[in-house]
């Protein structure tokens, strides 16, 4: 227990010293941490500058942005100079950083330091207005800014001119809504947000089991007090550790916010495993984390303060995907304040989350309001598994959005392997050395398979979509062509691509011999591919054909490929 507390304290002190050392790059020096009135902000023309130019029949708008300021992607607009109506020209943006913006109260994509927009020159007038809007990390936003850009097509140059149109807004910074909110109000919001966090489907099962353990424990009041404090300490220290890491990363130039760890697919996958394991434990398939979650025999005995501390840590981890009401405002202010104020707000958020169990452990009369223990508790515990399963499904969806379906499928395979390991060790003679070795191997594979798929997502993209017309054109030009007809549900096809077609050796052979690679996707019905399959005597995929430059009939490759088979036929062997 003491070693865990020292570990968290060390993280806190290291990160706090990193953030507080020297001049704080997150905000301007300020006598009142929740008021921006004394902060000196740059003039709008110094906060960000527009440098237009023409290149390759494109108008390029380069932006140089001062440190500590950012531009909104959704506020960029190209307008006609005379009417200020939007120009219907496709505009391309560079990828930015996604942050939860308190000014607009939603997640937005923003740009720090520099970015570039581009639009086809052919769709633009000789004079246009470029609209943009910037904010400062310290809590102020500028009004939308309009700049007149003149295009000289004869010299291929672009320049910025003064714009004095009727809709030009004054270049005075505007305070964000939270810039003058008092510290006490923000701390109250943090406390309420943490309290409501307990109702989220990820956290509620953990809190419920912990609270119900009080009705079955035989602890005296003093022991209950200690368990309540240990649980609170686990939550508060975890929130402070997350806050310290977040502030340290922001001080190093990263534009991060609450839940930044959820931007990591690896962390998302780990959470999926955690929720599934917790759900299986609640469903009664096995006792998971009796020391971690304080569920099972250790709950009844209530003898381990470390288990209560780790329950608080676990509750914080599973709460990371959630944002409760009142949290948005509190966290938005926290990330623009001096480190001490920010850490205080996060600690108060943790205290609010720990408050229900803390009150139950210190005021025994409150525990009398809980239902009397009985057989219903086991049924209720099993019921609480379903919110955890649903949370795992939602996280799998998030993982799919971040990566691809291959990674999601690999994580699901990992879940099955974990379930298999549990089954092996909990079946008859589960402690037999051979069974233990099999269980350990399954657990190792449950980690290795998703990681290998995740880090091997970059497959060669030097192929073209198959069509009979494209094949005909290439054959008329006397080009060598390799045709691969495949489908996502074809396991043989996927295996061939993994072990042969997508290897560096085969791709190098295609490149050295100037072989065009056509790939046809038959995952959904496609009449053209169906007819082509029938022409070659096949009723399904895979089908692999190689057309040499001599315009002879194509060579039909076997349905099971190796790198040597492909390389040999491409080299004419």
Polymer length in residues for the chain:
573
pLDDT of residue 466: 93
Q: With 90 as the cut, is the pLDDT of residue 243 above it? A: no
Q: Is the pLDDT of residue 174 over 60?
A: no
> What average pLDDT score do residues 203-227 get?
72
Using a CB cutoff of 8 Å and minimum separation of 24, what contacts does 463-470 make?
A: 463/517, 463/518, 463/519, 464/516, 464/517, 464/518, 464/519, 465/518, 465/519, 465/520, 465/521, 466/518, 466/519, 466/520, 466/521, 466/529, 467/518, 467/528, 468/528, 468/532, 470/518
pLDDT above 90 covers a percentage of the chain that reads 16
The pLDDT assigned to 408 comes to 92
What's the mean pLDDT in 180-190?
76
Higher pLDDT, 540 or 332: 540
- Taking 50 as the threshold, does the pLDDT of residue 558 lie above it? yes
Given a cut of 50, whether residue 294 has pLDDT beyond it is no
Q: Quote the crossing angle between the two packed helices 376-383 and 385-402, to the nearest 10°.
A: 10
Please state whether the peptide bond connecting residue 107 to the residue before it is cis, i.e. omega within 30 degrees of 0: no
What is the DSSP secondary structure assignment for residue 86, as one 8-state letter? B
The whole-model pTM stands at 0.55
Nearest to 442 by CA among 405, 409, 406, 413: 413
> What pLDDT does 281 receive?
83
For residue 215, pLDDT over 70 is answered with no
pLDDT in tens, 432-460: 788 888 989 999 999 999 988 887 765 55
Residue 557's pLDDT is 93
Note the pLDDT tens digit of each residue in 316-326. Answer: 887 777 665 66
Instruction: Give the pLDDT confidence score for residue 489 in this predicted structure.
Output: 86
Tens of pLDDT, residues 403-429? 888 889 999 999 999 999 888 887 776
Interstrand relation of 92-93 and 114-120 (parallel, antiparallel or unpaired): antiparallel
Q: What is the DSSP string of 431-456?
A: TSHHHHHHHHHHHHHHHHHHHHHHHT
Residue boundaries of the structural domains of the chain: 44-175, 183-263+287-384, 464-570
Percentage of the chain modeled with pLDDT above 70: 76
Over residues 285-313, the mean pLDDT reads 58
Q: How confident is the model at residue 251 (pLDDT cuts 50, 70, 90)?
A: low
The CATH code of the domain at 44-175 is 2.60.40.1250
**pLDDT for residue 498 is more than 60:** yes
pLDDT of 571 > 50? The answer is yes
The yes-or-no verdict on residue 329 having pLDDT over 60 is yes
Pairing status of strand 515-521 against strand 480-486? parallel
**Between 352 and 182, where is the model more confident?**
352
Can you give the pLDDT at residue 532? 92
Element at 379 (helix H, strand E): helix 376-383
Tell me what the pLDDT averaged over the chain comes to: 78
* Dihedral angle computed from the Cα positions of residues 271, 273, 278 and 281, in that order, rounded to the nearest 10 degrees: 180
Instruction: Read off the pLDDT of each residue in 251-273 and give the average, rounded to a whole number.
Output: 73
**Torsion, Cα of 269, 270, 273, 277 (10° steps):** -160
Whole-angstrom Cα distance, residue 191 to residue 550?
A: 77
Quick check: 184 pLDDT over 70? yes
C-alpha to C-alpha distances, 481 to 78, 122, 472, 499, 552, nearest whole angstrom = 44, 36, 10, 20, 12
256-283 mean pLDDT: 80
Residue 551: the pLDDT is 66
pLDDT at 529 over 50: yes
- What pLDDT is stored for residue 456 in this prediction? 72
Residues paired with 52 in a beta bridge: 61
Please name which of 332, 403, 321 lies closest in space to residue 108, comparing C-alpha atoms: 332
What confidence score (pLDDT) does residue 396 get? Answer: 92
Q: What does the pLDDT read at residue 565?
A: 93
Query: What is the structure's pLDDT at 163?
Result: 57
Q: Mean pLDDT, to the nearest integer, of 70-96?
A: 85
pLDDT of residue 298: 41
CATH class in words for 464-570: alpha beta
pLDDT score recorded for residue 324 = 59
* Stronger pLDDT, 252 or 462, i.e. the higher one: 462
**How far is the C-alpha of 216 from the C-alpha of 380, rounded, in Å?**
15
Q: With a cut of 50, say whether residue 290 has pLDDT above it.
A: no
């Amino acid at each position: 227990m003491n070693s865990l507390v020292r570990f968290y304290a060390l993280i806190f002190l290291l990160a706090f010293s990193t953030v507080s050392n020297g001049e704080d790059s997150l905000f301007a020096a300020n006598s009142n941490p929740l008021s921006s009135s004394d902060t000196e902000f740059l003039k709008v023309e110094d906060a960000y500058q527009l440098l237009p130019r023409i290149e390759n029949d494109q108008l390029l708008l380069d932006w140089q942005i001062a440190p500590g300021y950012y531009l909104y992607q959704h506020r960029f607009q190209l307008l006609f100079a005379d009417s200020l109506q939007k120009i219907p020209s496709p505009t391309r943006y560079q990828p930015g950083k996604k942050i939860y913006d308190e000014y607009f109260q939603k997640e937005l994509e923003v740009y720090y330091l520099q970015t570039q927009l581009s639009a086809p020159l052919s769709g633009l007038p000789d004079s246009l207005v470029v609209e943009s809007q910037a904010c400062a990390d310290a809590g102020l936003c500028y009004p939308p800014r309009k700049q007149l850009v003149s295009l000289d097509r004869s010299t291929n140059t672009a320049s910025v001119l003064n714009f004095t149109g009727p809709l030009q807004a004054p270049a005075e910074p505007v305070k964000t809504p939270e810039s003058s909110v008092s510290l006490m109000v923000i701390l109250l919001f943090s406390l309420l947000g943490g309290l409501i966090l307990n109702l989220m489907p990820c956290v509620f099962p953990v809190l419920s089991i912990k609270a119900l353990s009080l009705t079955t424990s035989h602890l005296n009041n003093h022991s209950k007090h200690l368990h309540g404090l240990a649980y609170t300490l686990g939550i508060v220290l975890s929130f402070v550790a997350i806050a310290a890491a977040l502030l340290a990363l922001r001080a190093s130039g990263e534009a991060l916010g609450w839940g930044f760890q959820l931007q990591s697919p690896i962390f998302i996958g780990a959470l999926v495993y955690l929720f599934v394991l917790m759900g299986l434990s609640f469903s009664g398939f096995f006792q998971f984390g009796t020391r971690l979650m304080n569920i099972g025999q250790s709950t009844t005995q209530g003898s381990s303060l470390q288990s209560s501390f780790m329950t608080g840590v676990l509750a914080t981890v599973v709460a990371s995907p959630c944002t409760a009401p009142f949290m948005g405002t509190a966290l938005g202010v926290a990330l623009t304040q001096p480190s001490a104020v920010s850490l205080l707000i996060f600690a108060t958020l943790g205290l609010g989350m720990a408050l229900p169990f803390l009150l139950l452990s210190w005021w025994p009369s409150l525990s009398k309001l809980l239902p009397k223990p009985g057989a219903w508790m086991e049924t209720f515990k099993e019921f609480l598994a379903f919110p955890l399963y649903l949370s795992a499904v939602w996280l799998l969806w998030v993982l799919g959005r971040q990566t691809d379906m291959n990674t999601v499928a690999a994580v699901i395979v990992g879940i099955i392997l974990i379930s298999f390991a549990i089954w092996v060790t909990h079946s008859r003679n589960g402690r037999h050395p051979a069974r233990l070795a099999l269980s350990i191997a399954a657990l190792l594979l449950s980690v290795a398979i998703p990681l290998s798929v995740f880090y091997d997502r970059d497959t060669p993209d030097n192929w073209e979509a198959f069509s009979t017309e494209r094949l005909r054109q290439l054959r008329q030009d006397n080009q060598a062509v390799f045709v691969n007809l495949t489908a996502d549900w074809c396991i043989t096809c996927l295996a061939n691509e993994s072990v042969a077609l997508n290897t560096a050796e085969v791709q190098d052979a295609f490149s050295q011999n100037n072989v065009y690679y056509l790939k046809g996707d038959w995952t959904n019905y496609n009449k053209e591919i169906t007819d082509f399959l029938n022409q070659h005597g096949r009723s399904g995929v895979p089908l692999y054909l190689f057309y040499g430059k001599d315009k002879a009939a194509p060579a039909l490759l076997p349905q099971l490929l190796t790198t040597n088979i492909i390389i040999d036929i491409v080299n004419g062997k």
